[in-house]
Amino acid sequence: MVGIGRLEGVIGVEPVVSGGTEAERRAAFERFSQERLERVYRLASVILRDGGEAEDAVHDAALHAWLHWADLRDRERMDPWFDRIVVNACRARLRRRTIRPLSQGPADPPGPDPVGGVLDADVLNGALAALDPDHRIAVVLRYTADLSPAEIAARTGTREGTVKSRLHYARRRMRSVLDEAERASAGGSR
Amino acid sequence: MNDERLERQIKTALERDARPLPSGLRARVSAVPDEVPLLTAIRSACPPSVGSRTSPAMGRADARRAPLPGATRATATHMKR
């Protein structure tokens, strides 16, 4: 899996961010947004756990990005900049609603589970969904997009230490949930 | 449970939430530059909503200072303190 951070500098994007004609700016924005669409949609769908909401969040983010397209000066910062807009759009939506409860599960049937049991994945999925939005976002950026704490900090507008703390808390919570499920499972099988 | 196994489990759990790109999203995003003039036109054509403290010409700082509808002079004086 290629993480967001790994994509930086790999894709040959030479956008005309400012200056140029309106048609050139549009073409640059079109190329920029379309090349990243699949990746940011995937990210949004994991953060929000809802395909429809992820679609709206990505659309909102694209609108925001276009409105500020002319302000963007540093081409090296384009990926973190766009990711941050997407993350902010997702965070706003997460805060406006309660995440889908575990009993409803994800909208699509889960794929094959190569690592743990289905029980573990279900338990973890529910626990991840119950995390505070900022903690969930940090976890998704770390484990879905393979970003380092510094890269996550750049995309969430926080300090690296804060990201590390959120990841630590989330891992501790996940571990405790899994341990508890294992104990319950062992107790039930006696 | 060791860290490596825990992290694999978290990745697997998150993978279950990933969705494939919906077919209409590319076109929706492509249309974004065309939406902006439309949105601007709609906003400028609409009067401030009922109960709104702001008008199009009013900045955020002005909005903070503006008294709520129905506020008396005493309320405004109290708010300044």
Q: What is this model's ipTM? A: 0.72
Q: Nearest CB to A116: which of B12, B14, B32? A: B12
Cα separation values, A111 from A46, A115, B12, Å: 14, 12, 10
pLDDT value at position B41? 83
Residues near A30 by Cβ (< 8 Å), separated by ≥ 6? B30
- Give mean pLDDT, residues B56-81: 52
CB-CB under 8 Å, B1 with A143: no
Q: What's the rounded Cα separation, in Å, for the pair A140 and B13?
A: 10
- How far is A18 from B67, CA to CA, in rounded Å? 41
Which chain A residues are closer than 8 Å to B8 by Cβ?
Answer: 115-116
Task: Determine the pLDDT at residue A181.
Answer: 81
pTM: 0.72
pLDDT at position A169: 94
Interface test with chain B among A124, A137, A177, by most B beta carbons within 10 Å: A124
Contacts of B33 in chain A (CB under 8 A): 26, 29, 66
Length of chain B: 81
Count the neighbouring beta carbons within 10 Å of the beta carbon of residue A71: 9
Low-confidence ranges of chain A (pLDDT < 50): 1-16, 99, 101-115
Q: What is the pLDDT of residue A86?
A: 97
Q: What is residue B44's predicted lDDT score, i.e. its pLDDT?
A: 82
B19·A107 Cβ contact <8 A: yes
Calpha distance A59→A54 (Å, rounded)? 8
Shortest CA distance to A8 belongs to which of A64, A69, A82?
A: A82
Taking the CA of residue B45 and the nearest CA in chain A, the distance in Å comes to 20
Place of tokens 């976890």: A139
Taking the alpha carbons of A164, A54, A17, A72 in that order, is the dihedral positive or negative?
Answer: negative
CA distance A164 to A166: 5
Within chain A, residue ranges assigned H as helices are 4-7, 22-48, 51-67, 78-96, 118-129, 133-143, 149-156, 160-189
Q: Name which of B3, B19, B26 is nearest A54 (Cβ-Cβ).
A: B19
Characterize B32-62 residue by residue with b for buried, 16 or more Cβ atoms within 10 angstroms of its Cβ, and e for exposed: bbeeeeeeeeeeeeeeeeeeeeeeeeeeeee
Instruction: Please report the pLDDT score of residue A113 as a whole number.
Output: 47
B33 → chain A, closest CA residue:
A66
Contact at 8 Å (CB) between A128 and A139?
yes
* Residue A160 and residue A138 in contact, taking contact as beta carbons nearer than 8 Å: no
What is the reported pLDDT for B3? 83
Query: For the segment B3-61, what is each residue's pLDDT rounded down to a tens digit?
Result: 888 898 899 889 988 999 999 999 999 999 998 888 888 878 876 665 555 554 544 55
Name every chain B residue with its beta carbon within 8 A of the beta carbon of A59.
25, 28-29, 32
Q: Return the residue matching tokens 């230490």.
A: A161
Residue A142, CA distances (Å) to A18, A19, A20, A149, B28 in order: 32, 35, 37, 7, 28
Distance from CA of B63 to the nearest CA of A (A): 23
Q: What is the pLDDT of residues A3-54, one digit of tens each?
A: 433 333 333 344 445 567 888 889 999 999 999 999 999 999 999 999 999 9
